[in-house]
Structure 1
């Protein structure tokens, strides 16, 4: 067997001298990184970062019951409502992207391109600010927390709905064209073909990408901090203000909670990908979780 290094798609494999240099650079980088971490740890130790009271105080039972748990529930509430709204909009707009009617395809494309191009923070902040000036929510008897929840969910839904619409379009277009042709060949109408043949397969193929986007939506709930929605990040700021010496510790606690939530959803994504990978029909192209923003095709 030849000892010549194999080439990869992106670059030629390193030879003996190149591998030696790469190993040396990796070793030096590792030593430097350990040195930086050691210096940072010592600096934090000098500032009493690891002192027990700085961690215990933010985790007092009363604070957990009156601050952390309500904040966690508020975060999960925004995530649940935002996910439902995003899924509904994603299905509606995604079906519009593959509609037989040019006007519907155009409108759906405008929606996707506009909201995917807009920063999510603006989609939350602008409606909230407009309502603050005009008082729509107050006129309907909605309290301040409810008002903040509405506009946080609105921003999460319209932005992630645009992303999910593209995922749905990609899931449909990834199917072999013969699937839709077979439906038409046996006399099914376009709607029946989509509902009975195309959509069940597309949903199975795109489910991992949808769940991955919902993980992003969960983390995006932290943007509710900008409108003082009482989520984890906002409550962490309040707790950190009460315990000024533990402000960094409080933020790390909030980050750990976000990590646990996101890791749990990510684990679900991995399980779903593993199960659906065994069932993907041969010849079906994988769904791209970040599809392009070009004009969607239509089914025959």
Structure 2
């Protein structure tokens, strides 16, 4: 057996790869066990450290913090997708006066870290007399950064399509806007869906940076709870609970993306099944057309 992408491993290579895989799993388990052991030795699993989580009020506050995280993520995700499409279309424009400024905007905002954008919006704007709530500072920073990244993702998806797709659209009388909207973008979105979802997961996790500008999201409350000396300063338990909530949200988002991708594959508009076999009449017409073309070529020569 052979592969176009790589050499298929032989019996020795398969055994070696399995041994390396087992060793890797053992190393990970040892490190994980060592961390759990240190937690146990330092009393992180003691009843005193988890005493705060026996109160219903604490779980209510965790729920409110999770809702604030989702509120920032949902608005930022929608805004980033819209901005990504707008910037991608501008980036693909044939007009230099539009393509160059859009390209400059994309490259600038992709290079600036999200945290720097949040700090500039929340602490920098008041210097010039503009005050912005921490929520909007988080959302706008996430929209600008992730929208710029998604613009490059969409552009790469469009440019990766065969050139014949675009030419076929022009051949049937569509303008560039119609070709982009009805032919190129649907295929690019379908091809780039895993990358788009991965970027949205990054957007969800980047909402945690909002605690630096005092936005009361999940990490902010976990840090606030962990520094409460009255409740025993349960920093590690609070971080574990917050981490479990983040993992649950990311898994839910990934599952949603999986469902969306399956529905896109089943969509009749996007289905590209095998072509139906030609009938005898179609074959006869094709042969007659080929004969006429060959006679015309012979006559011309």
State the distance in 1 between where 2:6 and 2:179 align: 41
Whether contact under 8 Å (1:7, 1:13) holds in the other structure is: no
State the distance in 2 between where 1:249 and 1:20 align: 41
1:12 is displaced (CA, Å) by 8.1
Whether contact under 8 Å (1:205, 1:276) holds in the other structure is: no
1:41 maps to: 36
SS of the residue aligned with 1:149? helix
Aligned length: 268
State the distance in 2 between where 1:29 and 1:108 align: 45
CA RMSD of aligned residues (A): 2.8
For residue 101 of structure 2, the aligned residue among 107, 124, 142 is 107
Structure 1 pair 6–15 and aligned structure 2 pair: CA distance change class (3 A): farther
State the distance in 2 between where 1:36 and 1:155 align: 36
Whether contact under 8 Å (2:225, 2:233) holds in the other structure is: no
Unmatched 5+ residue regions in structure 2?
Answer: 274-301
SS of the residue aligned with 1:123? helix
Task: Write the deviation string for residues 224-263 of structure 1: whole angstroms up to 9, x where unpaired.
Answer: 1111111100111111112344110001111111110011
For residue 255 of structure 2, the aligned residue among 237, 246, 267 is 267
2:168 maps to 1:182: yes
Structure 1 pair 258–6 and aligned structure 2 pair: CA distance change class (3 A): same
1:81-230 alignment to 2 at 5 Å?
81-137=75-131, 147-230=133-216
1:247 maps to: 235
Whether contact under 8 Å (1:97, 1:105) holds in the other structure is: yes
1:5-20 alignment to 2 at 5 Å?
13=9, 16=12
1:64 maps to: 59
State the distance in 2 between where 1:28 and 1:183 align: 53
Task: Write the deviation string for residues 134-161 of structure 1: whole angstroms up to 9, x where unpaired.
Answer: 3312xxxxxxxx6111111111001000
Deviating more after overlay: 29-38 vs 179-188: 29-38
Deviating more after overlay: 180-189 vs 88-97: 180-189
| TM-score, length of structure 1 as denominator length | 0.78
Structure 1 pair 46–75 and aligned structure 2 pair: CA distance change class (3 A): same
2:277 maps to: none
1:277 is displaced (CA, Å) by 4.9
Query: Relative contact order: is structure 1 or structure 2 higher (C-alpha 8 Å, sep ≥ 6)?
Result: 1
Larger radius of gyration: 2
Whether contact under 8 Å (2:222, 2:238) holds in the other structure is: yes
State the distance in 2 between where 1:71 and 1:185 align: 54
| TM-score, length of structure 2 as denominator length | 0.77
1:61 is displaced (CA, Å) by 0.6
1:28 is displaced (CA, Å) by 5.8
Whether contact under 8 Å (1:167, 1:206) holds in the other structure is: yes
State the distance in 2 between where 1:229 and 1:90 align: 25
Structure 1 pair 109–20 and aligned structure 2 pair: CA distance change class (3 A): same
Structure 1 pair 59–190 and aligned structure 2 pair: CA distance change class (3 A): farther
Structure 1 pair 28–194 and aligned structure 2 pair: CA distance change class (3 A): closer
